[in-house]
């Protein structure tokens, strides 16, 4: 196991202005809110937060996440309350910009309108933090209930974009590339989870068939040089979550994580937590992991932070200000 970081590096990581661009809001449910609901049931720190914990499989992880999310996220107000706590945590880590997604399946499970979830999350954004909200959906979500929602969501006020997530090895269905094209035509950003549980071919599919440049994870692109080349040509960004990858056993040990090679080969990588409820991680932990486990220098960590600001959905003056702040550290 790698050595812990020095207090000087921890201080550097803390002071670095940062982004988080891959965060599932239901997977970021603050544990303290569940404890408030039922102090006895949630008296123990979750087992999945321990350092060496590994999830058995994606389905176990997802079932645990959804089971807990459904205990809290019962109405739009609960999204507002959770988002307030989550965003306060971002400010406390010197994070300036966040992209978070809510799960379209919750609209179906709870019968609450997507617009209200979106509005609840957006209105929780505090001063000093720019928040962009995406709707995430599973590859097989085109149900009777969600079909009309997906057809109209692109016009919702304040929706920044859409993301494809859930079980990765399901086939891409016909509706998906059409919706992804339509989203970009409406000026929205498009993302897709790819190259996490399935191989480099899924990263290729996300770029070539879905037309997205924002790959969530993307790390298994490392298995195919031609896909790395494609991602470089497309100027793609990989929103990487190393601790998630280790705890979901996509990668055996942090020291083997491909972000080192992806970064060295020139792929634009950013750093995020994915689902802190299920991994017990913070963005600062992710930076520390790169420093201690993968020998990222402070200059390289600055580049990772700048990568997040480079793809942020903000005006050029804001981007330039944030970038200059990173440079000044």
Just list the catalytic residues.
Answer: 196
**In terms of CB distance, is 132 or 306 closer to ligand ADE?**
132
Helix (H, G, I), strand (E, B) or coil at 24: strand
Positions in 24-63 near ligand ADE (CB under 6 A): 24, 27
Q: Are 242 and 289 in contact (CB under 8 A)?
A: yes
> Quick one: what does residue 122 bind among Zn ion, ligand ADE, none, with the CB cut-off 5 to 8 Å set by partner type?
none
For residue 9, give both structure tokens: 């590096």
* Residue with smallest beta-carbon separation from Zn ion: 274
Please tell me the distance from the alpha carbon of residue 264 to that of residue 54, in angstroms, as a whole number: 27
The 10 Å Cβ neighbour count of residue 76 is 19
The minimum distance between CB 164 and ligand ADE, in angstroms, equals: 9
**104 CB burial (10 A radius; 0-12, 13-18, 19+):** buried
Can residue 196 be called a binding residue for Zn ion (CB under 5 A)?
A: no
Angular region, 195: left φ>0, alpha ψ -120 to 50, beta rest: left
Can residue 195 be called a binding residue for ligand ADE (CB under 6 A)?
A: no
Cβ neighbors of 36 (< 8 A, separation 6 or more) are none
**In terms of CB distance, is 220 or 306 closer to ligand ADE?**
220
The minimum distance between CB 274 and ligand ADE, in angstroms, equals: 5
**In terms of CB distance, is 193 or 260 closer to ligand ADE?**
193
Of 41-49, 64-72, 270-278, 313-321, the window that binds Zn ion (rule: CB under 5 A) is: 270-278
Q: List residues near ligand ADE by CB under 6 A.
A: 24, 27, 165-166, 193, 196, 244, 274-275
């Amino acid at each position: 196991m790698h050595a812990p970081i020095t207090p000087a590096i921890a201080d550097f990581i803390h002071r670095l202005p940062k982004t988080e661009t891959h965060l599932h809001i239901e997977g970021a449910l603050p544990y303290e809110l569940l404890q408030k609901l039922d102090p006895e049931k949630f008296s123990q720190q979750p087992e999945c937060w321990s350092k060496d914990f590994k999830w058995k499989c994606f389905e176990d992880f997802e079932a645990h996440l959804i089971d807990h999310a459904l205990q809290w996220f019962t109405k739009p107000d609960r999204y507002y309350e959770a988002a307030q706590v989550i965003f306060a945590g971002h400010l406390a880590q010197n994070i300036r910009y966040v992209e978070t997604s809510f799960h379209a399946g919750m609209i179906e499970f709870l019968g609450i309108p997507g617009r209200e979830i979106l509005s609840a999350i957006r209105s929780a954004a505090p001063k000093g933090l720019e928040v962009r909200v995406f709707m995430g959906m599973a590859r097989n979500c085109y149900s009777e209930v969600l079909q009309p929602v997906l057809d109209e969501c692109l016009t919702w006020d304040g929706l920044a974009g859409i993301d494809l997530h859930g079980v990765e090895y399901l086939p891409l269905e016909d509706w998906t590339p059409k919706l992804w094209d339509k989203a970009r035509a409406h000026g929205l950003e498009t993302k897709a989870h790819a190259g996490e549980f399935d191989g480099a071919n899924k990263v290729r599919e996300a770029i070539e068939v879905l037309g997205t440049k924002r790959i969530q994870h993307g790390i298994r692109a490392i298995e195919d040089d031609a896909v790395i080349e494609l991602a470089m040509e497309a100027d793609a960004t990989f929103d990487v979550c190393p601790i998630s990858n280790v705890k979901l056993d996509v990668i055996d040990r942090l020291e083997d994580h491909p972000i080192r090679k992806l970064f060295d080969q020139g792929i634009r990588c950013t750093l995020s937590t994915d689902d802190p409820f299920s991994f017990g991680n913070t963005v600062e932990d992710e930076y520390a992991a790169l420093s201690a486990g993968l020998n990222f220098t402070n200059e390289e960590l600055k580049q990772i932070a700048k990568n997040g600001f480079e793809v942020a959905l903000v005006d050029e003056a804001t981007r330039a200000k944030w970038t200059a702040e990173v440079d000044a550290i």
